[in-house]
Amino acid sequence: MPVRYIDAITARYTKLGYDPYRWVYAKEPPAFTPLAKPLSETRIGVLTTSGAYALGQTAFHYKDDTSVRAIPKTTPKQAIRFSHITENYLEDPRRDSECVLPLTALSRLEGEGVVGEVADEALSCMGGIYSQRRVREELIPDLAARFEAQSVGAVFLIPM
């Protein structure tokens, strides 16, 4: 059965007392940036918007949480937890975190030489942030700085 995602998000935000959600419409398409090196020589960053965090880290809260969790790539999947505004979409990730944070598969690609290396820490945020301004001014600069600190050449984005 298909999920009516936009309807579900709209209902969820209304239930939480927010004004109707304003979907972002880009004024122009994002710039395409080719890889500086072949993928097999590129350090890959990982970003999931699923609200994943590792056991022992603080869970995300629901109201415009622009914080980021750094999850070591060696974290066992049994130690991955989730906290997200769209709780109803977490059933599958809670059964198998690899569907939104595929650390095992990425490690295998690293071992096979498909990617040069996976950055030491995967990054996670809660993708259901109501404030577009806070995403632009807080979340994106934080993510960019963290990826730069890990010297990544490309980022694998896993939206939820």
pLDDT digits (tens, 9 = 90+) for 48-72: 998 889 999 998 887 788 999 999 9
84 burial via Cβ count (<10 Å: 0-12, 13-18, 19+)? buried
Percent of the chain with pLDDT over 90: 47
Q: How many CB atoms lie within 10 A of CB 151?
A: 10
pLDDT of residue 28: 87
What is the reported pTM?
0.82
Run of H or E including 71: strand 69-72
Distance CA 69, CA 57 (A): 8
What are the two backbone dihedrals, phi and then psi, of residue 116, each rounded to the nearest 5 degrees?
A: -65, -45
Between 67 and 7, the higher pLDDT residue: 67
